[in-house]
Amino acid sequence: DLATVSVLNCHTSPYNPPTHTMVVPTVVDAPAPRHVLKISDLKKTDLDDIITVAQSMKKDREQYSDVLKGDTLLMIFEKPSLRTRVSLETGMFQMGGHGIFYSLDGSPMGKKETVEDTGKVLSRMVQGITARVSTRETLHKLIDVCSIPVLNALDDFAHPMQMLADIQTIIEKFGTYENLTMAYFGDLDNNMTFDLMRLCALVGMNFKMAGAGNIEQSVWDECNELCAQTGATVQLCDTAEEAMRGVNIVYCDSWMSYGVDPKLAEERVQLFMPYQVTSELMELADDNVIFMNCLPAARGMEQTSEVIDGPRSVVFDQAENRLHAQKALLLRTLRPNTFAKCLNAIKKQAN
Long-range contacts made by residues 14-21, C-beta under 8 angstroms, separation at least 24?
Answer: 14/65, 15/62, 15/65, 16/60, 16/62, 16/63
Average pLDDT, the chain: 91
Q: Which of 120, 114, 64 is nearest to 90 (CA)?
A: 64
Residues 248, 197, 233, 169, CA torsion sign:
negative
CA-CA distances (angstroms) from residue 205 to 42, 186, 211?
16, 20, 20
Q: Which of 59, 87, 56 is nearest to 73 (CA)?
A: 87
Q: With a cut of 70, say whether residue 17 has pLDDT above it.
A: no
Segment (H or E) for 77:
strand 72-77
Q: Using an 8 Å Cβ cutoff, are 110 and 116 in contact?
A: no
Query: Quick one: pLDDT at residue 25?
Result: 40
pLDDT in tens, 323-338: 999 999 999 999 999 9
In this prediction, residues 241-260 reach a mean pLDDT of 93
In this prediction, residues 146-175 reach a mean pLDDT of 97
Query: Quick one: pLDDT at residue 10?
Result: 53
Query: Quick one: pLDDT at residue 2?
Result: 31
Q: Using an 8 Å Cβ cutoff, are 13 and 65 in contact?
A: yes
In this prediction, residues 104-126 reach a mean pLDDT of 87
Q: Using an 8 Å Cβ cutoff, are 136 and 37 in contact?
A: yes
Look at phi and psi of residue 204 and say left if phi exceeds 0, alpha if psi is from -120 to 50, else beta: left
Query: Quick one: pLDDT at residue 150?
Result: 97
DSSP secondary structure string for all residues of 95-147: TT-EEEEEESSSS-TTTSS-HHHHHHHHTTT-SEEEEE-S-HHHHHHHHHH-S
pTM recorded for the entire structure: 0.90
Model confidence band, residue 4 (pLDDT cutoffs 50, 70, 90): very low
Query: Quick one: pLDDT at residue 57?
Result: 98
Q: With a cut of 90, say whether residue 128 has pLDDT above it.
A: yes
- CB neighbour class for 211 (10 Å; exposed up to 12, middle 13-18, buried from 19): buried
pLDDT in tens, 281-313: 999 999 999 999 999 999 999 999 999 999 999
Model confidence band, residue 165 (pLDDT cutoffs 50, 70, 90): very high
pLDDT in tens, 29-70: 544 458 999 999 999 999 999 999 999 999 999 999 999 999
Model confidence band, residue 106 (pLDDT cutoffs 50, 70, 90): confident
Beta bridge mates, 25: 2
Segment (H or E) for 184:
strand 181-187
Higher pLDDT, 160 or 10: 160
Q: With a cut of 70, say whether residue 250 has pLDDT above it.
A: yes
The 10 Å CB-count burial string (b at 16+, else e) for 213-230 is: eebeeebeebbeebbeee
Higher pLDDT, 302 or 20: 302
- What's the distance, CA 37 to chain centroid? 10
Angle (nearest 5°) at CA 169 between 135 and 64: 85
Q: With a cut of 80, say whether residue 143 has pLDDT above it.
A: yes
